[in-house]
Amino acid sequence: MAATTLRALLSVSDKTDLVPFAQALVRKKFELVSTGGTRKALEAAGLPVIDISQYTGYPEMMDGRVKTLHPKVHGGLLGRLNLPADVAAMEGMGITPFQIVVVNLYPFVETISRPGCTLETAIENIDIGGPSMIRSAAKNHEYVTVVTSAAQYDRVLRALEAGGTSLELRRELAAAAFEMTARYDRAISNYMQSIVHPGGEAEEEHDFPPRLEFHFDRRAKLRYGENPHQRAAWYTDPNPPVGSLATAETLHGKELSYNNLLDLDAALQIVREFRQPAAAVIKHNNPCGCAVASSLAEAYTNADAGDPVSAFGSILGLNRPVDVATAEALCVPGRFIEAIIAPEYTPEAFSMLTTQPKWKTNVRLLKCPSMLDPRPISQDVRTITGGLLVQDRDDADDSQSNWVVVTARHPTANEHADLEFAWRVVKHVKSNAVLFAKHGQVVGVGAGQMSRLDSTFIATHKAAGRAVGGVAASDAFFPFRDGIDQLHRAGVTAVIQPGGSKRDQEVIEACNQLGIAMIFTGKRHFRH
């Protein structure tokens, strides 16, 4: 049966560019069949539209839950025009085939991502008719072109202008359609599993479902991975958390590398810790410098001074818009920065960074306006051979109400401020981690060593005498007093650590003997 009537079925939640696409279809002599809000949008644009109820002979029911689940709809999508039996069935039931189906789905993922989303709201945003139409059309792609994204409109229209969509294009669109419904169904499944135990009892909000699958979109193929012989690509969540690296926009510079992305994420997570102006200097996923101050320019200058040798070729995170004063500090001769992430750049600062220093054409400038949004960024996922490890992110509030001063001497007000600053930064340092700070500035970091004593030694070496009168933070407890003795030789006067060692009392007594104030937080911050 050769279709004498060209028909397109349109039913979309996202109406981006819908009207221009539909107008082009009408010019190509397509009749438009549509539903609910889509029909109203097309009629408002002056386009002729056949309501789905007019075509099926059945009204929409149950608040729109039932409108496209009808044989005249799915018969028009699934009918095989080369089979006489299918053609006869269609003719006998008054079914007209659809050549184009334009459908996208209720925004389920976006809905459940909103704060305060109720179960009732989530359930009502589970699309039933949409996936059914998409799957029918995709299955019958030999005869039907299925369009599931506004990004596909131009390509389909170009094909129609050239005489019609090819089987190759229809097959490609069908594959994209099945991927869309698979992702949609998996999101629903993950949500339902997150709220219900296999036995039917409600789970706590952060429990882990028995099955976990991920769907990410490839944003870029990278030049290589950690090393030139490793291939790599960057994938992002289709609905990334607010304030995450996936929401950042690259404004300038060379292509981002695998290592750039790792370090940018580390920089972003550190400066998100602070409400006052802050700067973090990252090298190999560790902060070699970090500072807070009354201005962003001062914070950056102090952060860079924390370890100026390591800061060469670093990644920089800033939590305020980059202004002229900060750009001037960045453009000091001899400084080289691989990439910067900040909420914004003033026009003058952007011009300075991209025209004045020697690295002007190379530096990557990224902006992330939502970086200070207080909402958590979800869970940590890491791969191991044959599987994944999933955990809550280490971003729970370290309430000072749980902190305990365990020494005879209490920290002074200045020491306490530095201890709080150091504690926020040390949890971003690879374990074993020991960090020295003074006046809101990191002055020495020991990271990733097999013993805490080694990390303390390295932090002392990096501080080069600047820790005198400063404080130290340790991501986990000191197992022996030797670490305290080493801190004392470095000039540290106050310490913050989780506590919890069998030899805590020995460590406390050492601090009392040396006049060091010490706080136990009760919370460990290992970062492997």
Active site residues: 139, 284
Residue 345 is encoded by which pair of tokens? 């750049």
Residue 95 is given by DSSP the state: P
φ, ψ of residue 252 in degrees (nearest 5) = -165, 150
Q: b/e map of 453-488 (b: 16 or more CB within 10 Å)?
A: bebbbbbbebbeebbeebbbbbbbbbbebebbebbb
Helix ranges restricted to H, 208-295 = 258-271
SS (H, E, C) 369-393: CCCCCCCCCCEEEEEECCEEEEEEC
Structure tokens at 136: 């029918």
Interatomic CA distance for residues 76 and 87, integer angstroms: 10
Amino acid present at 297? A
Contact (CB, 8 A) for 497 and 520? yes
Neighbours of 41 (CB within 10 A): 18
Q: How far apart are CA 421 and CA 414, in angstroms?
A: 11
Residue length of the chain? 528
Distances (CA, A) of 266 to 244, 282, 314, 321: 11, 7, 12, 18
